[in-house]
Structure 1
Amino acid sequence: MSLRPPLPLLLALLGAALFVMFIAASTSRKAEAAVAAALFAILLISSAIRTNSPFWQRNAINTGVTPRDALWQTTRLIMLAYLWCALAFYAVYLGTTLHWQHGWEYGSAILLIAIGHAIYLRRLADPNDAVSTPSAIERAVRLSSYQAIAIAVGLIWLIQSGKLSSLKGDWAANQLFLAGGFAVMCLSVIIIKTNAALSERPAR
């Protein structure tokens, strides 16, 4: 069984969501922009669930997929989440008349995070690299739990602050923070769940 979803189709759908976000932001259609951001999150989360859920079953057979394989696959989706958000920030705040002075700054910061994940993925693809050892993978999974908790706290604050109903130019940024944060939080939880399932399997 392969962990790899049909990447070209996923990228095409993510590209379509990004285009809709751009068009909606350029015409200040907040509802349509929110739908595009939500679609982006749903696409990544559903892709991760589809490829990881078979390993969560109690009677799942040993498919040869290792914790490193699973970590690589879902981390790639996290990288795509950060990359999509960075491109969306650039598209919205550099490509439309919507103005928010911090748009390009957050876009650049998120792009750096995406690049950092891409570098990590390249190393993780090598089974002989230091980041591919069982102890390193366990640390990465533990960091995923911290990331999920931190994002959950941030999302609660974002929702309670009322920023999602902002009348200023940051309304699109807040939608991206919500959708991107929710996607990365869910993907982090999936990493934890799959790693636990695969780590327990040899003892059965």
Structure 2
Amino acid sequence: MPLRPSLPWLLTTLAAALVAMTLAAGAIRKAESALAAAVFAIVLVVAAVRTNSPLWRRSSETAVADVTPRHALRQTAQLIMLAYLWCALAFYAIYIGTHVRWQHGWEYGSALMLIALAHVFYLWRIADPNDSFATPSAIARAVRLAFLQAVAIACGLIWLIGSGKLSSLKGDWAANQLFLAGGFAIMCLSMIMIKSYTVLTERRTR
């Protein structure tokens, strides 16, 4: 199903989660802050499953026959862009807008904002089916990069959880919550993108 009809509730929920996490972090309510971050991640993953799952069912092959790998990739890439953007805004809101302090907060926020903007540029390019970024080979490369991204994030999350940083008493505790929630969301979105691409390309080669 198209992502556009779901955007109002999606953006509203993400905005509410951002405000909730900022307020909770400012009050040093770590459990509530983690819950808000989890809501952000779950909402994005659910949105991706809702938009992609019709592509995976054989019973809906006729209904989605006009959906190309480029269309499917673009929809999920939009959600990945939102994940990076949300995390960037959360870093700014928490480490600039509250009393929580960590010297690298604005740096990570800026890095994530740049990645989000890079995704905006990419989405603009692949919106045109005649663009060089939208060719079948370019889409295949993007999917391979999504796989590498998922693997890298999985390794990072294993390290983050194993290192005990989630229970940090320093000011980076909120950042670690963002790394966990954002990383989990982007990893899941990347795998959903790969699954949809695989299903659609196999269906087109039959």
Conservation of the 8 A alpha-carbon contact between 1:3 and 1:52: no
Shift of 1:57: 1.6
Structure 1 equivalent of residue 141 of structure 2:
139
SS at the partner of 1:6?
helix
SS at the partner of 1:59?
helix
Structure 2 equivalent of residue 76 of structure 1:
78
Structure 1 equivalent of residue 34 of structure 2:
34
Output aligned runs, 1:24-63, within 5 Å. 24-62=24-62, 63=64
Q: Which amino acid aligns with 1:9?
A: W
Structure 1 equivalent of residue 18 of structure 2:
18
Q: Which amino acid aligns with 2:49?
A: I
SS at the partner of 1:128?
coil
Q: Which of 82, 87, 90 is the equivalent residue of 2:89?
A: 87
Q: CA RMSD in A?
A: 1.0
Q: Calculate percent identity across the aligned residue pairs.
A: 68
Conservation of the 8 A alpha-carbon contact between 1:44 and 1:77: yes
Is there any run of 5+ residues in structure 2 with no aligned partner, and where?
Answer: none
Structure 1 equivalent of residue 172 of structure 2:
170
C-alpha separation in 1, matches of 2:5 and 2:170? 38
Structure 2 equivalent of residue 181 of structure 1:
183
Shift of 1:186: 0.2
Change (3 A) 1:78 1:5: farther
TM-score by length of 2: 0.96
C-alpha separation in 1, matches of 2:75 and 2:147? 17
Q: Which amino acid aligns with 1:84?
A: W
Is there any run of 5+ residues in structure 1 with no aligned partner, and where?
Answer: none
C-alpha distance after superposition, 1:89-128 (max 9, x if no partner): 0000000000100000100010000000000000010111
C-alpha separation in 2, matches of 1:152 and 1:83? 20
User: What is the count of residue pairs matched by the alignment?
Assistant: 204
TM-score by length of 1: 0.97
C-alpha separation in 2, matches of 1:179 and 1:198? 29
Q: Which amino acid aligns with 1:191?
A: M
The 10-residue stretch of structure 1 (54-63 or 155-164) with the greater mean CA deviation from structure 2: 54-63
